[in-house]
Amino acid sequence: MSVPPAIVLEGAILGLNYGLLAVGLVLIYRTSRVLNFAQGQLGVVAAVFIVKCYYDFGLNYWFALFLGLALAAGAGALSELLLRRIFGRPRVTVMVATIGLSQLLFLFTVLPFIRPKQLYRAFPVPIHWTFHIGSFLFSPGDVLSLIVAPIVVVALAAFIGLSRWGLAMRATADNSESARLSGVWVRRTSTVAWTIAGVLSAVTAVLASPGQTSVLTQVLSPGLLLLALLAAILGAMVSLPVAFAAGIGVGVVQEVLEWNITNPSSGSATVELILFVLLQLALLVRATSLQTGARTYERSSWAMGTASFRLHVDGLRKSVGRTGIGVAFLVAALLPMVVGVGHSYLMSQVCIYAVIALSLTVLTGWAGQVSLGQFGLVAVGTDLTAHLGTSVPLVLLLPLAGLATALVSVLVGLTALRIRGLYLAVSTLGFAFFMQSSVLTTPCWTVPLLRRRICTGLPNPQSTLISRPSLFGLSLSSEQTFAWFSLGVLVLSVLMVRTWRDRGIARRFIAVRDNEVTAAATGIHVVRTKLLAFALSGFIAGYAGVCLAFWLERFSTDTFDPTVSILVVSMVVIGGIDSIAGALLGALYLVGLPAIFGTTTTTEFLTSGVGLLAFILYLPGGMAELMHRFGDLATGVTRAARQRWDPPSSRLPGATDSDGGAGHGEGPVGTPLTEAVP
Amino acid sequence: MNGPARLEVRELVVSFGGLTAVDDLSMTVQPGDIVGLIGSNGSGKTTLLDAVSGLVPAASGTVLVDDEDLADYLPEERAAFGVVRSFQECRLFPELSVEDTLLITEDARKSSDVLSATMHLPWARRVERAKRKAVDGVIASFGLEQFRYHQTRHLSTGTRRVVDLAAIVLARPRLLLLDEPTAGIAQREAEAFIPLLRRLQEVTGATVLIVEHDVPLVFELCSTVVVMQTGKVVASGPPEAVRRDRKALDAYLGASDEALLASGPLEGAADQSPGRAGP
């Protein structure tokens, strides 16, 4: 392995970006205990605005820079004000809210007074210095990074170490309630931290943007954020200097590895593989220090604290619910006959995404294991379909893919035995990246010791084509029949998951999620239960992957972009995290709604970003809760109507609560976990 | 594997970092006994229970239940072996309903298998129905019907304790470890716990080891009282003997006489406070 010094320096410059982002992540985490997925996007808004000021408004560079930094500072402070009211909620909820925030911030970059006329313009740099090491030329942008980044970090470290604010931040981080009682103004401290993080993110974007070839708005992509997270985790989410240094280290490792790659097509996959292993190792090694001390609540997984299942409903409410389900199913079943090809195609998509969302309902909603990499599992099913194609009958392929994916899912779940909550989310996000950019991109690879070639990736990573099979002699090639097939798969999935809910599997998951120690002392096998959740979730994701493959007929590695995994998480959160109906509603909202307005990134992000924030902030039970309230209302109306038409003597005693089921008070809203024993 | 179990702890040491919470402790609980474990805060009572139920690893020493060494048993396996415990904070499962909380105990004894449940196989349905029947019985006998569909996080501490006791009955323990069952309960209600706990022991037929700060309750309920201090047993024996053992009482109570007096007549102290020492 050759390591020219210039490559190391280039890696270090790249690593400065990771380091700065990591410092921002740690800063927010230390004060608000929030894993801020919007950290990169805060700066992107500023960078885009600087380009706008510089080129379109013709402003002086420094003035444009000042305006950009001010915008980022304001965006940071506003974000904190927006999210403040949910800081007391489970950490994972807040993390998903920051995903919504980042999508909302993305929308800022398309606003006419922020978005520049040309997005591909070179980012301005105030200096013109360059230098050589050997034959490597370092651009003015590189020089700027080398000068500015260390200064910023040292200044920040001094601010936190020496100033009153820094002390307040550290106190808030250790125990915000004690800090508050000791007279620290916790809220303002938190706002200051977010403001600083916003500026920091803007500085990162300003330093990272020159020399970027991609669109400006992509400058701090999720992939880059993941590497920053790796650095932050190496610093145990606490240490700014370690996080910064680790960021530089990650950059160097990445550059050196890439330099030593001989085969460009499989090489980047190897780099991704090594970074993935690094991330998992960092999480596993750091798991103890990440989860000990005052931060015990981070061990907790996704307990929404919201009403999960509707615990008990009367007969009338139940029949109203059944009527609703029946009508919805009937409409869905008739839809392909009425609508055109395009809408049938869309309906298949909604159904398949609903199935994928269901897999997350089981895993995240019930078992409390947060996965940001569910599409990585879907990819396993799709990949298997790409290899087997129509050689295996569809009825066999579906369960086969399910079982294979369940196995992979259990392997992913093994890390969950040690790391939880936020860190499991990071780990699974890493898995999604790994699946996309390492497993799927490499059609075949040689096992080092056995000298055997194994072909696990997509046969053609750029474009894999498959044709739709037939099911029981019925060809699925028309969009209409495929829509029915997708609906059928969805209905069967719902029935299966309902069985799990009503026959004691969900309650075991919830018991382990809510109180692991008591569950174990009661005699519930904790490890087995957790892995079972991963297996069941993986099973669903796997056969959903088969459906996805046949629905698309043509796919590439881009199909499995990790942002899609995040979209699926948004679905279940918007729909109602532990509700079966919620998964369906979430898919309908996030896939169906944007399609009506034309599927662009803007509409997708608008619906999911606004939806996520609105539901998490104001209606934690999600769309399922809305649906149940509507059901309660319909029940109330029905009951009132009956009372009016029936003679009073025939009324049942106790049927006087004419306000319907809505009068359950603080009683939880949701579907019954356990139907009354027949 | 029926009937009360015999617990034997031999030279048990449990330490957290530099702190030795249980220090070379040996004790034996005979089958069918109700043994009270008292001691000041931090004397290692709860840690002893944790070690017996497998929640904390023992640094050295052995825990034997019916002469079976439990070293290689996971907590869940110990539960299956009949070692059942309650927790001081009695958090239960906040988001589960009372009915489901009790069903979990049934699940632990007879786990529903996913495949047959998914396939709607008739015997899976039978198992679930049997579980519900058992739970229905316990709900009726503990008077929990009105709380059946309430999430446990909405219940008061007292009701949660009752749910916990109901779960214990379902779990069919042979060795029952109770960690401060009256914590967070008003004194008057705690007194009502004595017949309840005695009944619990009769119904389950288990050996009971109970950690409790309510000394009068322990002295009234238990056939043997064990006093712990800094991880060691300082005194043990029948309540009358321990009550007379001035050294043990000093160790436990730090010579707080009110609590002693509340627990009944003390030799030499009885004449000083005739008020509470009545018949």
A661 and A640 Cβ atoms separated by less than 8 Å: no
Contact A526 B84 (CB under 8 A): no
Q: Report pLDDT for A589.
A: 87
What is the SS3 assignment for A267-291? HHHHHHHHHHHHHHHHHHHHHHHHH
**Residue A675 pLDDT > 60:** no
Tell me which H or E stretch contains A601.
Answer: helix A601-618
What secondary structure letter does DSSP report for A676? Answer: P
Whether A359 shows a pLDDT value over 90: the answer reads yes
A494-530 pLDDT per residue, tens: 999 988 888 888 889 988 888 888 888 888 888 999 9
Euclidean distance between CA atoms A272 and A439, whole angstroms: 9
pLDDT at residue number B1: 56
Selecting from A312, A505, A525 the residue whose C-beta is nearest the C-beta of B149 gives A312
If one counts every other C-beta atom within 10 angstroms of the C-beta of residue A165, the result is 17
Task: Tell me how close the Cα of A189 comes to any Cα of chain B, in angstroms.
Answer: 33
d(CA B209, CA A600): 66
Confidence of residue A264 (pLDDT cuts 50, 70, 90): low
Chain B residues lying within 8 Å of A496, measured CB to CB: 118
Stretch among A228-232, A376-380, A443-447, A526-530 having the lowest mean pLDDT: A443-447
A227, pLDDT greater than 70: yes
Task: Answer whether A521 sits within 8 Å of B108, measured CB to CB.
Answer: no
Q: What is the pLDDT of residues A363-389, one digit of tens each?
A: 988 888 888 889 999 999 998 888 887
Residue B110 has a pLDDT of 76
Kindly tell me if the per-residue pLDDT of A677 is higher than 50.
no
Chain A residues touching residue B53 (CB < 8 angstroms) = 521
Q: Is the pLDDT of residue A671 over 70?
A: no
Residues A471-475: contacts with CB under 8 Å, at least 24 apart? A471/A394, A471/A395, A472/A395
Angle between helices A341-360 and A315-338 (to 10 degrees): 140
- Distance, first Cα to last Cα, chain A: 70
Distance CA B96, CA A565 (A): 29
Q: Give the model confidence (pLDDT) of A26-40 as tens digits.
A: 888 888 778 888 888
B105 and B131 Cβ atoms separated by less than 8 Å: no
Cα separation, A84 vs A105, whole angstroms: 17
pLDDT score at B210: 92
Closest residue in A to B50 (Cα) is: A521
- Regarding an ipTM greater than 0.85, the answer is no
Q: Nearest-CA distance from A50 to chain B in Å?
A: 49
Residue listed under structure tokens 């604290």: A305
Statement: residue A642 has pLDDT above 90: no
When pLDDT is averaged across residues A449-463 and rounded to a whole number, the result is 74
DSSP assignments along chain B, one per residue: --S---EEEEEEEEEETTEEEEEEEEEEE-TT-EEEEEE-TTSSHHHHHHHHHTSS--SEEEEEETTEE-TT--HHHHHHTTEEE--SS----TTSBHHHHHHHHHHHHSPPPHHHHHTT-HHHHHHHHHHHHHHHHHHHHTT-GGGTTSBGGGS-HHHHHHHHHHHHHHH--SEEEEE-TTTTS-HHHHHHHHHHHHHHHHHH--EEEEE-S-HHHHHHH-SEEEEEETTEEEEEE-HHHHHH-HHHHHHHHSS-HHHHHHT---TTTGGG-TTT---
Residue A673 is predicted with a pLDDT of: 31
Q: Which of A475, A494, A496 is nearest to A484 (CA)?
A: A475
Tell me what pLDDT residue A669 has. Answer: 35
Instruction: Count Cβ neighbours within 10 Å for each residue of A94-126 and write b for 16 or more, e otherwise.
Output: bbbbbbbbbbbbbbbbeeeebbbeeeeeebbbe
Of A510, A513, A524, the CB nearest to B76: A524
Residue given tokens 């993305």 in the structure block: A106
Indicate which of A299, A494, A507, A577 best probes the interface with B, i.e. most B CBs within 10 Å of its own CB: A507
pLDDT, tens digit, 9 for 90 and up, residues A60-102: 888 888 998 999 999 999 999 888 888 777 777 788 888 888 8
pLDDT score of A546: 92
The answer to whether the CB of A564 falls within 8 A of the CB of A376 is no
Burial pattern B93-107, b for ≥16 Cβ within 10 A else e, equals: bbbbbbbbbbbbbbb
Short-list B240, B187, B247, CA closest to B213: B187
> A432 CB contacts (<8 Å, ≥6 apart)?
A372, A373, A374, A375, A376, A560, A562, A565
Identify residue A563 by its one-letter amino acid code: T
CB of B100 within 8 A of CB of B109? no
| Number of Cβ pairs < 8 A linking chain A and chain B | 113
Confidence band for A311, pLDDT divided at 50, 70 and 90: low
Which of A500, A513, A520 shows the shortest C-beta gap to B75? A520
* Inter-residue contact A392 to A401 (CB < 8 Å): no
Q: What is the pLDDT of residues A124-150, one digit of tens each?
A: 777 778 787 777 788 888 888 888 888
Per the CB < 8 A criterion, the answer to whether A6 and A252 are in contact is: no
Q: Is A596 exposed, middle or buried (0-12, 13-18, 19+ CB in 10 A)?
A: exposed
- CB atoms B95 and A500 under 8 Å: no
Q: Is A134 left (phi over 0), alpha (psi -120 to 50) or beta?
A: left
A648 pLDDT band, cuts 50/70/90, is: low
Q: Which residues of B touch A (CB under 8 A)?
A: 53, 55, 74-76, 79-80, 84-85, 87, 91-97, 99-101, 103-105, 107-109, 111-112, 114, 117-118, 120, 124, 128-129, 131-132, 136, 148-151, 154, 167, 171
Residue A662 has pLDDT above 50, yes or no: no
Query: Band of the pLDDT at A663, cuts 50, 70, 90?
Result: very low
Determine the average pLDDT of the residues in A202-215.
74
Tokens 């402790």 correspond to what residue?
A: B25
Q: What does the pLDDT read at residue B251?
A: 67
Closest by CA to A579, choosing from A303, A310, A300, A353, is: A310
d(CA A511, CA A500): 14
Half-sphere CA count of A382, side-chain side, radius 13 A: 33
pTM, two decimals, is 0.85
Query: Across the strands, what pairs with B7?
Result: B29, B65
- Measured in angstroms, the CA of B61 and the nearest CA of chain A are apart by 21
pLDDT higher than 80, residue A533:
yes
The number of residues in chain A equals: 678
Residue A185, pLDDT above cutoff 50: yes
Determine the Cα–Cα distance for residues B203 and B137; give it in Å rounded to an integer: 13
Digit-by-digit pLDDT tens for chain B (279 residues) are 578 889 999 999 998 878 888 888 999 999 988 999 988 888 888 899 999 998 888 889 999 999 889 888 888 889 888 899 888 888 888 888 888 899 988 888 777 678 878 877 788 888 888 889 999 998 998 888 888 888 888 888 888 888 988 898 888 889 999 988 887 777 777 777 788 888 888 888 889 999 988 888 888 889 999 988 888 888 888 888 888 877 776 766 654 555 555 555 444 443 443 333 333
Res. A173: pLDDT tops 80:
no
The partner residue sitting opposite A517, judged by closest CB among B55, B120, B167, is B55
Q: What is the reported pLDDT for A231?
A: 86
Q: What is the pLDDT of residues B92-146, one digit of tens each?
A: 888 888 888 999 888 887 776 788 788 777 888 888 888 899 999 989 988 888 8
Q: What is the pLDDT of residue A491?
A: 92
pLDDT over 70, % of chain A:
87
User: Which token pair is A189?
Assistant: 């401290």
- Measured distance CA(A635)–CA(A641) in Å, rounded: 10
Mean pLDDT of A200-215: 76
What's the pLDDT score for residue B7?
A: 92
Residue B62's φ and ψ, nearest 5 degrees, are: -130, 155
Could you tell me the two tokens for A207? 């330093």
Q: What is the mean pLDDT of chain A?
A: 80
